Amino acid sequence: MKNIFLLLSLFLTLSACTDCDDETPVSESSIIGNWELVAVLSDPGDGSGTFQPASGKTLQFTAQGVVNCNISFCFGSLTLATTTGTYNVATTSIDVDNCTGNYSFNGAFLEVSHFCIEPCGERYIRIN
């Protein structure tokens, strides 16, 4: 009876994590690929800002140090033109059309921060 209980407990523990792969942390070397915007951080200046759902923007990082964006890379810009720039893994920086940002990994997310007076940023998830 103990063996059945132990096996049942083990099975439940393992099956409870079937979707855990969605939260797998991204390694620093795996920026190459396509990323889709899922949230933006806007703060009114008092530190109370939180990430809010967003969509419509994608970033593509190539092995040659090139980053392509389907719309303007600059945070808050309404320009719909595709933009191309560069990224640097050593400095975790992105430079597109004189608009710079830094990136970091937070679990499964790629977070891009731009220069803003108040805290601001974008959160992306890998789409391939």
CATH architecture assigned to 23-126: Beta Barrel (2.40)
Q: What is the pTM of this model?
A: 0.72
- The rounded distance, in Å, linking the Cα atoms of 26 and 75 is 23
CA 21 to mean position of chain CA atoms? 15
CA–CA separation, 38 vs 124, rounded Å?
A: 5
pLDDT tens digits along 63-122: 999 999 998 888 666 566 778 999 999 999 999 888 889 999 999 999 999 877 777 899
Which of helix, strand or coil describes residue 110?
strand
Which carries the bigger pLDDT value, residue 92 or residue 23?
Answer: 92
Which residues are registered as beta bridge partners of 104? Answer: 111
Higher-confidence position of 22 and 99: 99
